[in-house]
Chains A and B, each alone.
Chain A
Amino acid sequence: MTIKLAATLSVALGALMGLSAEAKTLRWSSPTDITTLDPYAHTESFTTSMLHHVFDPLVRRGRTLELEPALAVSWKNVKPDTWRFELRRNVKFHNGNPFTADDVVASFARLLDPGARARGNIANVLRAEKVDDFTVDIVTKGPYPLLLNDLAGVYILDKEWMEANGALKPGNIATGVTTAASTTAIGTGPFKVESYKPDSGTNFVVNPDWWDKPQHNLTRIEFKPVKSDATRVAALLSGELDLIAPAPLQDLARIGNAPGFKVIEEPSLRLIMLSLNFRPELKAMPGQKNPLLDPKVRQAMWHAIDMETIKKRVMRDKSRNTGTLVAPPVPGYAKENDTVLAYDGAKAKALLAEAGYPNGFKVKLNCPNDRYINDEQTCVALAAMWTRAGIQADLQTESRATYFPRQDRGEFDVSMVGWATLPPMDGFSVLSALLTAQKDGYGGSNSSTYENARIEALTRQAASELDEPKRRAMLVEALKVAHDDVAYIPLHQQPLAWAARDNIDVPQFPDEYVRLWFATVK
C-alpha cells in the first residue's frame, strides 16, 4: 500500500515537474489593486498598466517607450485636424470576434460619452469616423500634436460584445448605471483575464492567438495585491511571490542580500517639486506683502536646500536630484535647463538681505505623508534647512485624501507637488497643467497662481504645432523661463525599485508601468 502510494506520488510529481518545464507562471504583487476592468471608468495609471495586458491601443509604447504601431499599422494627417489610421487585419478579440473599424468607432464613442470617467484623456478628440472596414479617421479640435500620445492609452473594446452585454455606454455613478464591463474584459491583448477577485487576486492566461510575436515566455500571470509593505516583502522572501513592484526603500538592502533575490532600480518619471504661493499675501503672514513674489527670495529658498543630504539621508541614495521640471526621457527635457541652484547657506542669506528680509520671514510648508516616496521626511528636512537660513517654515503634513483638495483650493504657501507628465509622457503636460494660469482649460493644477506671459504664449503655440522639432524647442524654451524665474523649486526624481527572484527577467520603465509581455521566467 505504502509502496503503491509512493509510486503514485512520484508519478504525480514527475507529471508536475514535466508541466512546470513548459508552464511559466509569474506571481507578482503591488500595494494597489485593479480598480475596475472597464478601461474608460477610471483614471489610475496602475489600472491602465494592468489592463494593457488584456487590451491593445491603436499605438503603443515599445521597449524604449517610443510610440509604435499596435492595432493601427500606419497613420497620416489628411488634414491638420484629421488623422487617418490604417488598421491591422486578422486580429481577433478574446471571444473570437474579428477586429474592425466598427470596434474603433464604438470604443471612441463610448469613451467620449459624458458618463465615461476617463474621457478627459482624449479631451482634444472630437470623434472617430469609419472610412472602410480597416480605415478610421480621427478628428481633433484643431491641429493637435499629441494625438498619438493620447491614443496610446485608449484601449479598443469589442463592439459586438458591448452590444450583447449592454455596455455600449459606460457606467455612470450619478444615474446608478453599472455595466458588465466592470468585471469582464474582452480585448485583443497578449493575455486573457481568467478570474478577477478584488483584493484577492486577478489571474491572466496567455492569449495564444495574439497578433504580435510574443517577447515573453509566460503562460500565466497571477496578480495578488498586498497593501501592507512588510507583508509584501515577507511573501516575496517566503517564495509565495516572484516579483513585487514597488519594493519599499527601507527593505531594498535586505532583499538584495537575500540569496536568490535581486533588486531592480531606475529613476522614475515622477518629479517632486515645491509649489510656491504667488498670491499677494502669504497664509503665514496675512496683511503683509508676499515675499515669494520676489525672484531673489525664491532663489534664496532654492540655495538654502541641501539636496545632496536629502538624497543620502532621506532617499537612501536612490533618488536623482533635478533642476528642471521634466525627467530626461520626456520631450521638452534639455540638459542645459537641468541645473540645480547649489546649496549655499551664505548666498541664501545674502539674497534674502538684498530682497529686504535680512531676518527672514515666516512661511507655511504643507506636504502629504502617504503619496510620494518618503514625502514627510523630505519636508521635515526642508523645514530644518530653511530654518537654518532664517526662513521659519511651519510644517504641516496630512493624508493625500485631505491634502490634495486643500492644495486645489490654494490654501498653501509652499507645498509638495509630484508630476510624471503621464499619460501623454510629454513636457507639454507640465506647461499646460502647472505653469499656465487657470483659464481656457489650462492650469488645471496650477493652484499657486503662477503666471508668466512668455510661458503662456509658448504653451499656446506648442499646443497646435505639428512640426515636432519646432514644438520641442518651444517646450525647452518655456521650461528654461520657468527654471530661471524659479516658478517651482524642483527637488528630485523619485526612485523606482522592484524586487524579484533571480530567475525573473523583467524590464523596468520610468513610467512605472509593469509590462509583463516583456518578462521571461527562466
Chain B
Amino acid sequence: MFKVLLSRLGQAALVMLVVSAVSFVMFRYVGDPVATMARENASIAEKEELRQSLGLDQSIVTQYGRFLKRTLSGDLGISYRNQRPVTQLIAERLPATMELVIVATFLSLALGIPLGVLCALRPNGATARLVQAISLIGISTPTFVTGIVLILVFAVTLGWLPSFGRGQVVDLGWWSTGFLTWSGIKSLILPGITLALYQLTLIMRLVRSEMIDVLSTDYIRFARARGLPTRYIHFHLALRNALMPVITVTGLQIGSLIAFAIVTETVFQWPGMGLLFIQAVSFVDIPVMAAYLLFVGLLFVIINTIVDVLYAVVDPRLRARSA
C-alpha cells in the first residue's frame, strides 16, 4: 500500500514538472509583456530597460530555472499587471470559483439523478423523450450562448435576477461567501445553471444508461418475482448500484468545472480564477498565467491520485499487480 502511494506521488511530481515546463514554453508564443506594460510613447531604451528588469532578456532555460527555484520555495511571484503577489490574487478569487462550482455540482446532481431515473423507468414515455431532446440541446449549446440567453430572459426581460457579479458578499476570515445574503444567492443562480448545464446532461444520461443496465439484471428480476415493492426495488436496490460510476464521474468533473469555469465567469463577470486567468492572458501577465496553470494541474493530479489510491484500497487485485 505504501509503495503504491509512493509511486503515485512520484508520478504526480513528474506530471507537475511537465505541466510547468510546457506552460513555460507556451508563454513564448502568447506575446511580449513589455509591449503591454510600457507606455505608448515609450522609447526603445525604456522598453529594453523594462525587459531587463523583468529578466525577460535571459534565455528561456535560465528563466525556467529561476521560475522553478522560486516556485519550489513557495513564491509564485508578483503579477506584472497590478504588482500584487500572485498567491494573494489567487486566494482572493478562489472562494468565488469554488462557490460557483459547488452550486453547479449540486444542481447537476439534484436535477440529473431524478431525471435520469425518470428516463430509465419510462424510456418510451413522452416526458422521457422531451427530457432527452432538451438534454441534447443542453449538451450542444456553447456556454456563452446559454449564459447570454439566460441573462436576456431573467435579467433584462423579467428583471428577476442580476446579470453579473456576485452581489453582496460576506467575509468569513479570508473566505468571502455569497451564500449568506439574498443578493449573493440570487447572483449564483444564473451562472450556476450555465455552468451546471453540461454536467447535468452528462449525469442524467449516465444515470439513465446505468439504471437500464441494472434493471435488467437477474437480482432485480428476482426481487420483482419475490413481490418486493416497486419503489424499494427502483430506489433502494437499482439506483444505489447505478450511482457508483456517477460518484466517480462527478469527482473527476469537479476538477474540470473549476478549470473550465473561464467562459461562464467571463460572461457573468464572476470575479473568480477563470476571469483572473483570461485577463492575465490578454495582458501577458506571465506570473499569473503560470500560477493558474500550475494550480489547475495540481488540482487534476490530486483528484486523480486520490481516485487511484481509492481504487487500490477497494480492489485488492490492483494492489497485487503494482506490488
Contact A441 B151, beta carbon cutoff 8 Å: no
* Distance of A444 Cα from B81 Cα, bound (Å): 22
Contact A444 B164, beta carbon cutoff 8 Å: no
Q: Is B131 an interface residue (CB 8 A)?
A: no
Q: Is B204 an interface residue (CB 8 A)?
A: no
Residues of A within 8 A of B159 (CB): 238-239
Q: Is B303 an interface residue (CB 8 A)?
A: no
Partner of B155, one of A174, A201, A238: A238
CB distance from B86 to the nearest CB of A (A): 11
Partner of B163, one of A227, A231, A433, A443: A231
* Interface mask (A214-243 → B, CB under 8 Å = 1, otherwise 0): 000000000011111011101101111000
Contact A228 B266, beta carbon cutoff 8 Å: yes
Q: Is A445 an interface residue (CB 8 A)?
A: yes
Contact A36 B82, beta carbon cutoff 8 Å: yes
Given the known A-B contacts A178-B83, A182-B84, A438-B44, are A198 and B35 also in contact in the complex, defined by CB atoms under 8 Å? no
CB distance from B58 to the nearest CB of A (A): 12
Contact A199 B279, beta carbon cutoff 8 Å: yes
Contact A399 B78, beta carbon cutoff 8 Å: no
CB distance from B258 to the nearest CB of A (A): 17
In chain B, residues 1-34, which have Cβ atoms closer than 8 Å to a Cβ of chain A?
Answer: 29-32, 34
In chain B, residues 264-284, which have Cβ atoms closer than 8 Å to a Cβ of chain A?
Answer: 266-269, 271, 275-276, 278-279, 281-284
Q: Which of B47-55, B207-215, B237-245 touches A? A: B47-55
CB distance from A91 to the nearest CB of B (A): 28
Q: Is A41 an interface residue (CB 8 A)?
A: yes
* Distance of A230 Cα from B267 Cα, bound (Å): 8
Partner of A442, one of B43, B80, B85: B43
Q: Is A20 an interface residue (CB 8 A)?
A: no
Q: Is A121 an interface residue (CB 8 A)?
A: yes
Q: Is A15 an interface residue (CB 8 A)?
A: no
Contact B278 A118, beta carbon cutoff 8 Å: no
* Distance of A54 Cα from B84 Cα, bound (Å): 20
Q: Is A318 an interface residue (CB 8 A)?
A: no
Contact A38 B163, beta carbon cutoff 8 Å: no
Residues of B within 8 A of A287 (CB): none
Contact A228 B267, beta carbon cutoff 8 Å: yes
CB distance from A326 to the nearest CB of B (A): 14
Residues of A within 8 A of B282 (CB): 370, 399-401
Q: Is B205 an interface residue (CB 8 A)?
A: no
Contact A235 B30, beta carbon cutoff 8 Å: no
In chain A, residues 369-402, which have Cβ atoms closer than 8 Å to a Cβ of chain B?
Answer: 370, 399-402
Partner of B32, one of A197, A232, A239, A405: A405
Number of chain B residues whose Cβ lies closer than 8 Å to a Cβ of chain A: 60
CB distance from B56 to the nearest CB of A (A): 10
CB distance from A113 to the nearest CB of B (A): 12
CB distance from B135 to the nearest CB of A (A): 25
Partner of B31, one of A121, A402, A420: A402
Q: Is A356 an interface residue (CB 8 A)?
A: no
In chain A, residues 189-219, which have Cβ atoms closer than 8 Å to a Cβ of chain B?
Answer: 197-201
Q: Is A173 an interface residue (CB 8 A)?
A: yes
* Interface mask (A400-432 → B, CB under 8 Å = 1, otherwise 0): 111011001000000000011010100001001
Partner of B83, one of A182, A419, A424, A432: A182
CB distance from B154 to the nearest CB of A (A): 9
Q: Is A171 an interface residue (CB 8 A)?
A: yes
* Distance of A118 Cα from B276 Cα, bound (Å): 23
Tell me the dominant secondary structure on chain A's binding face. loop
Most chain B CB within 10 A, of A33, A408, A432, A444, is at: A444
Contact B85 A197, beta carbon cutoff 8 Å: no
* Distance of A212 Cα from B247 Cα, bound (Å): 64
Q: Is A280 an interface residue (CB 8 A)?
A: no
Partner of A444, one of B32, B43, B152, B267: B43
Residues of B within 8 A of A171 (CB): 78, 83
Contact A118 B271, beta carbon cutoff 8 Å: no
Contact A198 B30, beta carbon cutoff 8 Å: no
Q: Is B165 an interface residue (CB 8 A)?
A: yes
Q: Is A117 an interface residue (CB 8 A)?
A: yes
Residues of A within 8 A of B30 (CB): 401-402
Q: Is B45 an interface residue (CB 8 A)?
A: yes
Given the known A-B contacts A120-B41, A178-B78, A182-B82, are A198 and B92 also in contact in the complex, defined by CB atoms under 8 Å? yes
Find the B residue at minimum CB distance from A433: B41
Residues of B within 8 A of A234 (CB): 148, 151-152, 155-156, 163
* Distance of A404 Cα from B40 Cα, bound (Å): 11
* Interface mask (A449-473 → B, CB under 8 Å = 1, otherwise 0): 0000000000000000000000000
Shortest 9 CB-CB contacts between residues of A and residues of B = A401-B31, A405-B32, A199-B271, A404-B35, A444-B43, A43-B39, A200-B271, A174-B53, A36-B82
Q: Which B positions have Cβ atoms within 8 angstroms of A?
A: 29-32, 34-47, 50, 53-55, 75, 77-78, 80-85, 89, 92-93, 144, 147-148, 151-152, 155-156, 159, 162-166, 266-269, 271, 275-276, 278-279, 281-284
Q: Beyond the given A176-B77, A182-B83, please list 15 additional residue pairs across the A-B interface where CB-CB is below 8 A.
A: A43-B39, A120-B43, A200-B271, A226-B269, A227-B266, A228-B267, A231-B163, A235-B164, A237-B156, A238-B163, A401-B31, A401-B284, A402-B30, A404-B35, A443-B44
Between A and B, 23 residue pairs with Cβ closer than 8 Å are: A35-B82, A120-B39, A173-B53, A173-B80, A197-B271, A199-B93, A199-B269, A199-B279, A201-B165, A224-B269, A226-B269, A227-B279, A230-B148, A230-B267, A234-B163, A240-B155, A370-B282, A401-B283, A402-B31, A408-B47, A432-B41, A444-B47, A445-B40
